[in-house]
Amino acid sequence: MKAPVVPDAVDGVLDLGRLSGGDVIVRLERYIGIRPGDIITVFFGTSLSSRVIVPYQLPFAGFFDAVFRKNDLLNGVYDVRYDVLDLAGNIGLSQASVVTVVGSPGAVLPAPVFPDAVNGVLASRAIAARGGAAMEASYTAMQAGDVVAFHWSGENALGRPVAAATWDGEPYTVDAADKALGRVATLVPKSFVLALGDGGRGAAFYTVVRRGSADAQKSLTASVAIVWKDLAILNIFATQGAMPRIAGYPDVWAADNVTVFGQPNSRVNLSVLGGTLESASASGSGLAAVLDARGLYRCRVFAEEDQSSPGVAVVSVYGSEYFQKPAAVEAGFSRLYVGTGGVHRYSFTENAIADGEDVCSLYLFAESGVDRLYLSLTGDALINGWQTSIALPLHADRSATVNIVSDVPGKKVVTIARAAGTADAQTITVNFLPAGVIYGTRPESAFRQKDA
């Protein structure tokens, strides 16, 4: 998603002293795939706006505005961004705008920071390694004898407060070592963090009673998202060479196959440029999916007839922890080839994964007068998953689709003729790649891999 814009910033500099009002506007363009019920949270550094829920009657002026009080912003350099949580629990993060704030009227304490968080996300493995959520505070004129107290609370993925997550740290007296470091630190116990659930959001601030004073100053609030499922591995792969879909051949659903492999049972989002994604239940420029118990998800990507040739679609997959660095793959398309031996035109995909499930597809169009085509196959592979030869009936549009599977890498030769044993035949060579190109060498992989 595109980075938000701060309309009052000039060349990336926001001079708060020049603002006539007391608010700073952050403007978001309407993003692709927006749906009623989406929850949008806008961040200005570690400060956050109130959550905005996309209404069911979309009042669309081309953008949404989020509001920050200028007195809550200190001088400094900030990443301004937003995230979107949809009703299925999928999370997407925008790109960031970098804004330098000057002329701040505020004399407040800066928000605490979470040193283990990445782009505002605190992963479960970091929480487990620390035994909780690490938090640090740094403020000007820190002195030994200051008393600092940290506070933590939060809400679940639906925005509802979680009482069991509320934690108030014991007041801590700053010593000379803390002053030398310029910061004080604490740890929110793990039980209070995990109480927010997967996709929950923690909020934290601290108070300071300075040495010699009885008054407590309160800091700005920092926010962090909690993610239980860490995608330590997220790969994507696609076959190559499918023909575009042609309106005159309604029985041919040509497409390149897309395979995603990652953490089992994890949610992912897929998007595409230059094509259309297709699953068993939906199609479009984006899909939300859940990897199965093996960590696997498959869909297809296709091109329309009027797209340029040769066309390439770029398919990206986003995991809940890797918003800014999606895994991506190119899926190439090709036009029809001229055939022989009863084959008038044909197209095929290749470079499938040799896992016994991914397929190389043949899209065949028979010559006039041919009522079926005879196929035979050499190499360790199967036609339609169960045989090495077949008398293939044709659809009403004289087309046929054949899927080849294999669990052995290498080239497979398919021979196609108008009659069995005919010398005049069309041959098509398809290639299967080692399963390790996507599954790696994980010992827990459930897939058959005969490649080294």
pLDDT digits (tens, 9 = 90+) for 133-189: 999 999 988 999 999 999 999 988 777 888 989 999 999 999 999 999 999 999 999
Looking at the fold, whether 100 and 114 belong to one and the same domain comes out as no
Instruction: State the Cα angle at 267 between 440 and 298, rounded to 5°.
Output: 55
Pick from 32, 10, 28, 29: nearest CA to 19: 10
Domain boundary among 107, 122, 155: 107
Structural domains counted in the chain: 3
Q: Indicate whether 444 belongs to any domain.
A: no
For residue 293, report the phi and psi dihedrals to the nearest 5 degrees: -65, -20
Residues of the chain with pLDDT under 50: 231, 308-309, 321-324, 441-452
Q: Judge if 173 and 223 occupy the same domain.
A: yes
Look at residues 107, 124, 156 and tell me which one is the last residue of a structural domain.
107
Residue 448, domain member (yes or no): no
Do residues 305 and 388 share a domain? yes
Question: Are residues 36 and 162 located together in one domain of the fold?
Answer: no
Contacts of residue 170, defined as CB under 8 A and 6 or more positions apart, other chains included, come to: 149
Do both 317 and 407 map to the same domain?
A: yes
Same domain assignment for residues 150 and 80:
no
Residues 288, 91: Cα–Cα separation, whole Å? 10
Q: Does residue 446 fall inside a structural domain?
A: no
Residue 75 and residue 78: Cα distance in Å, rounded? Answer: 9
Q: What's the CA gap between 237 and 239, in Å, rounded? A: 7
User: Domain ends where: 228, 254, 276?
Assistant: 228
Q: Are 169 and 151 in contact (CB under 8 A)?
A: yes
Q: How far apart are CA 307 and CA 311, in angstroms?
A: 7
Give the pLDDT confidence score for residue 106 in this predicted structure.
62
Domain with 49, as residue range(s), is 1-107
Closest CA to 93 of 227, 265, 281: 227
CA angle 117, 129, 44 (to 5 degrees): 10
Beta-bridge mates of residue 268: 289, 319
Judgement on whether residues 218 and 245 belong to the same structural domain of the protein: no
Q: What predicted TM-score, i.e. pTM, was given to this entire model?
A: 0.50
Q: By CB neighbour count within 10 A (0-12 exposed, 13-18 middle, 19+ buried), where does 135 fall? A: buried
Name the β-bridge partners of 91: 85
pLDDT of residue 307: 52
Structure tokens at 353: 């994964």
Residue 231: per-residue pLDDT? 46
CA distance linking residue 81 with residue 323, whole number of Å? 12
pLDDT at 57 (0 to 100): 60
Phi first, then psi, for residue 438 (nearest 5°) are -120, -40
CA distance 104 to 79: 17
User: Which CATH number do you get for residue 116?
Assistant: 2.60.40.10
Same domain, 128 and 93: no
Verify that 61 and 203 share a domain, yes or no: no
CA dist., res. 335 & res. 245, Å (int): 10
Predicted pLDDT of residue 448? 36
